[in-house]
Copies of this chain bind each other. A is one copy, B any other.
Amino acid sequence: MPAPALRLHLVTLGVDDVARAVGFYESLGMERCMKGSEGVAFFDAGGAVISLYGRDALAKDSDAGELPRGSGSAALAFNVTSESAVDETLDAAAKAGGEILKAPYRVFWGGYIGYFADPDGHVWEVAHNADFKFDERGLLVLAE
């Protein structure tokens, strides 16, 4: 029997203080959903959901052992529709307590990207790529 097709539904970010982390992501323009949840916060990030959850609770739930701070060798990314939106997003992240890892720069393939870490060390890339198309939900449309 074939395995079910894998869909990315949620990315859970282990954080020190859920309320503080909520404030950070709200500063980036995200809106919390399912507000009745306790000890965890969910944000609709387009196709997938970002959840903010205690790092210790995540370690306990997953039996993954002690979890290092931040997103390890995983980086989250979102794409915006202009180069100025890349700059604005990094400014908003810095003002809300994030750390700018790499100021926006032009990549060899033509994109314009920058990186920040949220207050718990999770790495985000913010990118503008003129070749990328978005569908009506704001999600990327990929070629074959």
Number of copies of this chain that the complex holds: 2
A25/B6 contact (C-beta < 8 A), A12-B77, A64-B123 known: yes
A78 near B44 (CB under 8 angstroms)? no
B76 near A8 (CB under 8 angstroms)? yes
A68 to B70, CA, bound (A): 10
B117 near A64 (CB under 8 angstroms)? yes
Which of B62, B81, B117 meets A125, CB within 8 Å? B62
Q: Please, how many residues of chain A have a CB less than 8 angstroms from a CB on the other chain?
A: 74
B12 near A49 (CB under 8 angstroms)? no
**Quick one: closest B residue to A117, CB to CB?**
B64
A10 to B42, CA, bound (A): 18
A14/B74 contact (C-beta < 8 A), A28-B3, A62-B123, A139-B7 known: yes
B5 near A74 (CB under 8 angstroms)? no
Q: Which 5 A-B pairs have the closest CB atoms?
A: A47-B47, A72-B72, A14-B73, A7-B46, A8-B45
Q: List 24 A-B contacts (CB under 8 A).
A: A3-B29, A3-B92, A4-B89, A6-B28, A6-B30, A8-B76, A9-B78, A10-B76, A10-B79, A35-B144, A46-B47, A48-B48, A58-B75, A61-B125, A62-B101, A62-B125, A63-B101, A63-B102, A64-B75, A64-B101, A69-B73, A70-B74, A72-B121, A74-B76
